[in-house]
Amino acid sequence: MVFLVKTISFILLLAVQWTGHGQTLTTKEVKILLVVESTGQKVSHLLMFEQVEGKGKAYLVEKYRNSSFYVGLLKGTYEIYGDVVTPKKNTTVIIYTDRELFLDRKTMGPASPWAPGDLFKLGKETGKVVSNSKGELIIKT
C-alpha cells in the first residue's frame, strides 16, 4: 500500500512538473490556422490545422470571438502547447490571405497594407514582413 501511494505521488509530481511545458519542434512545413483579430492587424493565435480541423466553425467562432481564420504554413522551429503554436526565431510563416476559412468573416485580403520590413504580430511573437504579393503574406520571425 505504501508503495502504491509513493508511486501515485511520484506520477502526480511528474504531471505537475510537465504541465505548461511545450514541445519544441522543427519542420520543413506544417499547415496552420491563423486566428486574425477583427481589425485584421494582428494574428492573435496560431493553431495546428490538423488539431482544430474537425472541431468545426461553431467551436472556433465561439472560442475566438470577433476573429477570422486563415490557412497558412509554418516553416522552421516552433513550440506547441496543446493546439497553439508559437514560432521561434528565424521561422517563416505564410498567410494565405485569400484562403479565409469562413468566407462570411473576411478581414484580410490581397490589398492588405503591409510592406516588406513592416512588423507583424504573430501571437506572442513579432515578425517582419518579407513579402506581400497577391494572396500570400510572408513573415519571418
Query: Is the separation of the CB atoms in 137 and 129 below 8 Å?
Result: yes
Residues of the domain holding 100 = 22-140
Give residues with Cβ within 8 angstroms of 5, minimum separation 6.
none
> In which residue are the cell numbers 473576411 written?
106
pTM given for the model: 0.76
Residue 75 lies in a domain: yes
Q: What would the grid cell of residue 69 be? A: 481564420
Residue 1 lies in a domain: no
Backbone angles phi, psi at 106, to 5 degrees: -80, 130
For each of the chain's 141 residues, which pLDDT tens digit applies?
666 555 665 564 444 444 445 677 777 899 999 998 877 778 899 999 988 888 888 889 899 988 889 999 999 999 988 888 999 999 999 998 887 887 654 546 544 678 899 998 888 889 999 999 888 899 999
Residue 97 lies in a domain: yes
Residue 79 lies in a domain: yes
Could you say which DSSP state residue 28 is in? E
CA–CA gap between residue 30 and residue 38 (Å, rounded): 25
